[in-house]
Amino acid sequence: MGADSIKKAVYLHPNLLKVKSRDKKEEFKLRISGVERGKHSFSIDCDNTFFEVAEIPDLHEGDVKLQIEMDISDKIVTLDFHFKGYVTLPCDRCMEPVNIDLDFTDNLVVKLMPWIEEPEEEDNLWIVNENTYELDLFHFVYESISLALPTQILHPEDENGNSTCDPEILKKLEELTPHENTMGDIDPRLEALKNIKLS
């Protein structure tokens, strides 16, 4: 068995894939118990493995560098996130891959309370027990990236204002788009509706 075959066999082994996914999730667990009060910095790569585990629809590829600044006190942990990188998604027009640049910030405030048994999470505010050992930020990061994605994914226009989508797909779409001159005579009842003014 050649080296390439061995690599392929290892990559496809389901148990190894589970380990890889579990290891990626572990990177997003931030210890707070016993950590010295004050400011701390962390860096995490949201790479292809992250997007595979996160299962964001249509998003399986990207490279987003995440910088986390943590300020911890007796009762409050403040987390500032800076996301910078790109993700790859299918274009809504031609379905070909398009890179979407991301550069944004988010924040999370965690209150440490003695009487909390079950954590409470609401948007950018979490309330957890003061004896909590670590914070699992995986879902928060996943949600932040999901919400930062544009509602419409399209290839950018070139300097002349023309779409950079796959030209073959654009040509096919143009052929399939009905034009007024190919629709024949318009029903006079529909034509009359054009003249109605709504107050």
9-56 pLDDT, tens digit each: 344 444 444 556 678 899 999 999 989 999 999 999 999 999 989 888
For residue 58, being part of any structural domain is answered with yes
For position 9, what pLDDT does the model report?
39
Which helix or strand (DSSP H or E) is residue 166 part of? none
For residue 199, being part of any structural domain is answered with no
For position 109, what pLDDT does the model report?
97
| Residue 90, helix vs strand vs coil | strand
**Domain extent for 169:** 3-193
For residue 55, being part of any structural domain is answered with yes
**Whole-number Cα distances in Å, 195 to 181, 183, 190, 199:** 20, 20, 10, 13
For residue 109, being part of any structural domain is answered with yes
For position 187, what pLDDT does the model report?
60
Residues 30 and 42: their CA atoms lie apart, in Å, by 9
Per residue in 47-100, pLDDT tens? 999 998 988 888 889 999 999 999 999 899 999 999 999 999 999 888 899 999
For position 8, what pLDDT does the model report?
40
For position 28, what pLDDT does the model report?
95
User: How many domains, in total, are found in the chain?
Assistant: 1
Token representation of residue 112: 């440490």
For position 2, what pLDDT does the model report?
47
Per residue in 106-149, pLDDT tens? 999 999 999 877 888 888 999 999 999 999 999 999 999 999 99
pTM for the complete prediction?
0.74
For position 188, what pLDDT does the model report?
63
For residue 49, being part of any structural domain is answered with yes
For residue 80, being part of any structural domain is answered with yes
For residue 10, being part of any structural domain is answered with yes
For position 194, what pLDDT does the model report?
58
User: Would you tell me the crossing angle of helices 3-12 and 14-26 to the nearest 10 degrees?
Assistant: 70
Per residue in 152-172, pLDDT tens? 998 888 888 887 887 787 777
For position 26, what pLDDT does the model report?
92
Which helix or strand (DSSP H or E) is residue 21 part of? helix 14-26
For position 170, what pLDDT does the model report?
72
Residue appearing with tokens 């405030």:
109
For residue 198, being part of any structural domain is answered with no
